Chains A and B, each alone.
Chain A
Amino acid sequence: MNPYELRADVESFLYREARLLDTQRFEEWLDLFTDDALYWAPAGRDDIDPTRHVSIIHDDKAAMGRRVKRLRSGFAFAQEPASRVHGSSLTSRWRRHPATETIAKSTA
């Protein structure tokens, strides 16, 4: 993949992820993540050590799944009716790691 193709690939992934959340396709959204995924929203600052400092969200994939299940339960009252959300990606940066990895950073 050349750099232009890589950029298009990364950006379309980020847009797809936001779109799935915006349209409440939570199960498909969950499927985007590998089993060792970590969904982390640091609290206060973004340079914290999450084993010593509280976070807003620090979910492994099982916890992410439990959130999806709860949202689908019909009893998640803070989301009854559901929030209308609109994801946006302001910037994205990425670099290719040796071998097969690509690291992407996006500011939303």
Chain B
Amino acid sequence: MRPAIDQLIRPGAVHRSVYTDPGIFDLEMSRIFDTTWVYLAHEAEIPEPGDYKTTQLGRHPVIVSRQPDGEIAAVINRCRHRGPTVCENEFGNSKYFRCPYHFWTYRSSGELIGVPSREAYGSSFNKETMGLQRVARVDCYQGFIFGSMSQSGPSLREHLGGVARFLDAYVDAAPGGKLALFEGSQKCVYQGNWKLQMENGVDPYHVGALHISAVTPKAMEIYQQGGGCVIAMDGHGVTDHTDYGPMPLDASLSGGFNLVIFPNLIVLRSQIRTIRPIAADRTEIHTRVVRLEGAPEDVNLRRMRDQEFEFGAAGTFFTDDLEIFERTQYGLQSSAVEWLNFSRGLETEQMKNGYLTGDITDETQHRGLYRNWLRMMTAEQEARA
């Protein structure tokens, strides 16, 4: 028996069932992913009218597309007739999506425009109400496109809170003031809970241990100087090295910051990483590599080569991260120990600039993520559209 949900998070500890219990996972999908803002795509992935990307919002297969008027639409990739996905390509350009089962056809905005032998449905059939279901809200900040399944709730800007300022700085690092993306993405799957990657995206404490074989002497120097801080920022997590320097053009580990934007977006050096929860013990990671508009081509190429070497699916850092996620999930199956320890800096963290802030190896940012988790998991459920 697991404790009640409001008993799963303590000031410096998280209960193991938060990672292992399929019932908790189901609740996360409805209480977190179906209510809050979830990262879907970057504008650079769908620049032209008709461009689309298929992705996932919680458990919902989604098509995000650029409409003829330049607006962005997000619809559930599920035929209103019998339920198959209507698009299987990851990227493409089309005005229409046609379900291959019975040829029901939709505009990319979702509107149903074609039903073979429609007269058999009789006069009560209303095409207007049978379009692809729309994602309730879609909004964009600095090129990052988010969707929310909930009609109500905070705006995207309110949801981002203080991390919006960091996204501004991330984009400002591009001399041309704009992010582009290298083609293609790196994808991998691990047998572990989605929150393991979320924690790990803002975890400076592990770098000098797990990554000791991969980290460069210069990067170790930054950590050993003891600068930087970790911040619990409006439910998101930040590791901030900007006291050492701004986000560097070449994305090397020399200043800058990492962001974990709850629940599924990680902005880390040259990468936009998306977390896709599949089951309590299964997660996909999709990574895009960022090119900076206006940066010299050799610098951009170096960003990609370094990212592949360090953080790609065969990367010197990322393989060890994936290893530790799977080892953690295996260890947490044991009921002999019920709690994970998250107490570093609990007694010394302080409010700075309005946010709870800890030293660089503290776990202040993780505690903030889990307070946010607990808040959403125990919130009164609002009526949804």
Interface residues of A (CB under 8 A from B): 41, 43-44, 48, 51-59, 63, 66-67, 70, 73-78
Interface residues of B (CB under 8 A from A): 182-186, 210, 212-214, 289, 301, 304-305, 307-309, 312-314, 316, 319-320, 322-324
**B324 touching A58, Cβ below 8 Å:** no
Min CB distance A87 to B, Å, is 16
**A57 touching B312, Cβ below 8 Å:** yes
**B324 touching A56, Cβ below 8 Å:** no
Q: Can you report 5 residue pairs joining A to B where beta carbons are below 8 Å apart?
A: A44-B185, A54-B289, A57-B312, A66-B316, A74-B213
**A48 touching B314, Cβ below 8 Å:** no
**A57 touching B314, Cβ below 8 Å:** yes
Q: A residues within 8 A CB of B214?
A: 70
Min CB distance A68 to B, Å, is 11
Min CB distance B209 to A, Å, is 9
**B184 touching A43, Cβ below 8 Å:** yes
Min CB distance B220 to A, Å, is 13
Q: B residues within 8 A CB of A44?
A: 184-185
Min CB distance B290 to A, Å, is 11
**B186 touching A54, Cβ below 8 Å:** yes
Q: B residues within 8 A CB of A76?
A: 213, 316, 319-320
Shortest Cβ distance from B324 into A: residue: A77
Sorted from nearest, which 3 A-B pairs have the closest CB atoms?
A75-B213, A53-B183, A78-B323
Shortest Cβ distance from A70 into B: residue: B213
**B213 touching A53, Cβ below 8 Å:** no
Tell me which of B212, B308, B323 contacts A56 (CB under 8 A). Answer: B308
**A58 touching B308, Cβ below 8 Å:** yes
Q: B residues within 8 A CB of A74?
A: 213
Q: B residues within 8 A CB of A54?
A: 182-186, 289, 304, 307-308, 312
Do A77 and B289 form a contact, CB below 8 Å, given A41-B314, A54-B307, A63-B309? Answer: no
Do A58 and B186 form a contact, CB below 8 Å, given A70-B213, A75-B213, A77-B210? Answer: no
> A41 CA to B309 CA in the complex, in Å?
12
> A52 CA to B181 CA in the complex, in Å?
9
**A53 touching B314, Cβ below 8 Å:** no
Q: A residues within 8 A CB of B304?
A: 54
Q: B residues within 8 A CB of A70?
A: 213-214, 316
Min CB distance B269 to A, Å, is 14
